[in-house]
Amino acid sequence: MEILINKVINADCMEIFKNINDNSIDLIITDPPYGVNFEEGLYDDSTSAVFDNYGKWLEEMARILKKHSHLYLFVPTLQVEKWITEVKVHLRFNNLLALQVYQTNTSSSIKNNFTYDLQLVIYASKNKAKDFNKVKWIPTSSSWLKDKRNTNPQPFTYQYPSFINSNIVRANTKPNDRIKRLHPNEKNPQILRYWIEMSSLVKEIVLDPFSGSGTTGEAAWLADRQFILIEKNEQYFKIVKKRMKNLMKQKRLTEF
């Protein structure tokens, strides 16, 4: 298990789960294939590839999560009921989050039925969820920073935890955010970092068994957590490996 820490692994997650102890992972954030026949990814998104396996994936995730720890599971709008029903078999279903997305509106996204205005995310836990951490997220206004009544000026103010930070409302990255988009399903690292800070502590282990381009890894590293990233496709694996290698050379940020 120790050898998996802060590593990117090129494998089927079911193989790697075998090496992860029961009750050992502090947080899982993941975006698995949805089973909606999405055609732009280099992975099998057929109904059978996903729905023959999702029960086993969730069973393993429930086994390795620590008691009371949290799971954030990106799920499709199509078939969402199926995902919720299966999550309830293995974990405690707490909430369904709905985040806005940047639309691409390409002919292929329309063809793929991916033009919904919202990205859904299941928030679940192993048994009763532990409390959220307080997070420092509201930037203090310049006027309050200078105000005489402010005896302890701080750049950020603690926000009572809520899933959606009003400054970070999109689940994905802007279509042209990166010179070359890393992955067709790339998520917004800021919102993942926000959940990581709410749901885990510094140096705790964050797992993403379907890492894609490695967004969870980036967010975990910047938040000073340890990560385990698993990606089955070799091409995407190489992207994550490079992304994490470059990132790990940089100093971690203490604030956004």
Ligand X SMILES: C[S@@+](CC[C@H](N)C(=O)[O-])C[C@H]1O[C@@H](n2cnc3c(N)ncnc32)[C@H](O)[C@@H]1O
Task: Convert residues 1-30 into a mask of x (bound to ligand X by CB under 6 A) and - (unbound).
Answer: -----------xx-----------------
Q: Which of 17, 43, 123, 194 binds ligand X (CB under 6 A)?
A: 43
Residue type, 171: A
Residue type, 166: S
Query: 222: closest CA among 181, 194, 242, 241?
Result: 194
- Sheet of 118-125, strand order: 7-10, 226-231, 205-208, 25-30, 65-75, 118-125, 92-100
31 binds ligand X (CB under 6 A): yes
Nearer to ligand X, 26 or 31 (CB): 31
Nearer to ligand X, 109 or 233 (CB): 233
| Buried-exposed string 176-206: b where 16+ CB fall within 10 A, e elsewhere | eeeeeebbbbbbbbbbbbbbbbbbbeeebbb
Nearer to ligand X, 96 or 138 (CB): 96
Part in contact with ligand X (CB under 6 A); list of ranges 63-71, 121-129, 134-142, 228-236: 228-236
213 binds ligand X (CB under 6 A): yes
Binding site for ligand X (CB under 6 A): 12-13, 31-33, 41, 43, 183, 185-187, 209-210, 212-213, 215, 230-233, 236
